[in-house]
């Protein structure tokens, strides 16, 4: 009898844990649309590379890039070198690059 109640408690705790994980998982497709807009639109993006924790974005016109909004979106830092932006995103950089490449092909 007691075992059944323990099984129910464990099952409920597992459901809560999965719900919390699912809620905290970022929706990169939504975030990537904002990121592309903040980078000046997909026509402003010339190329994208990822390097572990950094997303290297080459743009036509750096002046139309909204760096403050990119940082509010979750970037840990931005380094600007000419028409290049090195945006520090952490391990999600590879996934962001993949989504940018997909949207650039559309």
Residue 44's nearest CA partner among 11, 4, 85, 75 is: 85
pTM to 2 decimals?
Answer: 0.68
Of residues 49 and 2, the one with the higher pLDDT is 49
For domain 27-105, give the fold: Gyrase A; domain 2 (3.30.1360)
pLDDT, tens digit, 9 for 90 and up, residues 41-74: 889 999 899 888 898 999 999 999 999 999 988 8
Q: How many CB atoms lie within 10 A of CB 54?
A: 20
DSSP state of 49: E
pLDDT at 85 exceeding the cut of 90? yes
Residues linked to residue 90 through DSSP beta bridges, in sequence order: none
């Amino acid at each position: 009898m007691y075992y059944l109640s323990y099984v129910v408690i464990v099952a409920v705790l597992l459901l809560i844990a999965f719900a919390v994980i699912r809620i905290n998982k970022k929706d990169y497709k939504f975030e990537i649309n904002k990121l592309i807009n903040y980078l000046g639109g997909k026509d402003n993006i010339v190329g994208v590379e990822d390097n572990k924790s950094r997303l290297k974005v080459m743009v036509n016109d750096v002046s139309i890039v909204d760096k403050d909004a990119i940082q509010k979106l979750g970037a840990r830092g931005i380094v600007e070198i000419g028409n290049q932006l090195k945006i520090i995103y952490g391990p999600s950089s590879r996934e962001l690059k993949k989504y940018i490449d997909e949207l650039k092909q559309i």
